A = this chain, B = another copy of it.
Amino acid sequence: MAKINVLIVEDDPLIAEDIRDLLSRVNYNIVGIAHSKADALNLLRNTSPDISLLDINLGDNTDGILIAEIINETYKIPFLYLTSYSSKVILDKVKHTLPMGYVVKPFDEADLFTAIEIAISNYSLFNKSENFTIETINASIPNKLTQKEFEVLLDMYNGCSNTEMADKNFVSVNTIKTHVQKIYEKLDAHSRATFIVKIRQLLQT
């Protein structure tokens, strides 16, 4: 099994190294340790973590929350909060970012592993749009979609008519209709409505 890429965002170097040691011993690959918001954004941009562990408090501020928001907007990976203490106040401040969990420091090895694995396995189920890639769709059907077909599929899923798609792609409606036909064949759908249902099914499994 491929190692799970983890990004650690934790200002305390001792704790960060502690986590790295724990995780490195088993099936995890640490793509980086960020001690600040800037570090974190940089690593998010340049590595491809599968999950991020976020300290809420970086130095004297709550930059962890900002990083979480950016992850949700741009990177769409699950994350867990690392907190030194848990309180209703903290919770209210972070829950809108929909963390996949939290780990209260100090934590033990097993807790951390469990939290990470549950986070990753549940995230894909919860975050449906994350699954909405050509790879996920193709993994579930015998006749694979081409790139173009997937683009058309996305537009269809977002409510475009054939004419609208033709216009925005500068091709004729006939071309779009051909793509649509192929998509229907490959997904075993026969109308816009059944197509949507098929997509829902594919994204849920």
Q: Return A161 CB to nearest CB of chain B, in Å.
A: 6
Name the contact of A113 in the complex, choosing from B88, B122, B158 (C-beta under 8 A).
Answer: B88
B86 touching A191 by the CB < 8 A rule?
no
B110 touching A122 by the CB < 8 A rule?
no
User: In the bound complex, what is the Cα–Cα distance between A98 and B118 (angstroms)?
Assistant: 8
State the copy count for this chain. Answer: 2
Interface check A170, CB cutoff 8 A: no
Residue-wise interface mask of A (23-48) relative to B, using a CB-CB cutoff of 8 A (1 in contact, 0 not): 00000000000000000000000000
B residues near A147, Cβ cutoff 8 Å: none
Name the contact of A193 in the complex, choosing from B88, B95, B121, B159 (C-beta under 8 A).
Answer: B159
- List residues of A (78-99) whose CB comes within 8 Å of B's CBs: 83, 85-88, 91, 95, 98-99
B residues near A99, Cβ cutoff 8 Å: 118, 122
B118 touching A102 by the CB < 8 A rule?
yes
Known A158-B197, A159-B197; contact A88-B117, beta-carbon cutoff 8 A: yes
Interface check A66, CB cutoff 8 A: no
B114 touching A86 by the CB < 8 A rule?
yes
A95 touching B110 by the CB < 8 A rule?
no
- List residues of A (153-205) whose CB comes within 8 Å of B's CBs: 156, 158-161, 191-194, 196-197
Residue of chain B at shortest CB distance from A193: B159
Known A159-B191, A193-B156; contact A86-B110, beta-carbon cutoff 8 A: yes
B121 touching A95 by the CB < 8 A rule?
yes
Residue of chain B at shortest CB distance from A114: B86
Interface check A139, CB cutoff 8 A: no
Name the contact of A125 in the complex, choosing from B91, B98, B101, B114 (C-beta under 8 A).
Answer: B98
A91 touching B104 by the CB < 8 A rule?
no
Task: Pick 14 A–B contacts, CB within 8 A, sort by A.
Answer: A86-B114, A87-B114, A91-B114, A91-B121, A95-B122, A99-B118, A99-B122, A101-B101, A104-B108, A156-B193, A159-B193, A160-B193, A191-B192, A196-B196
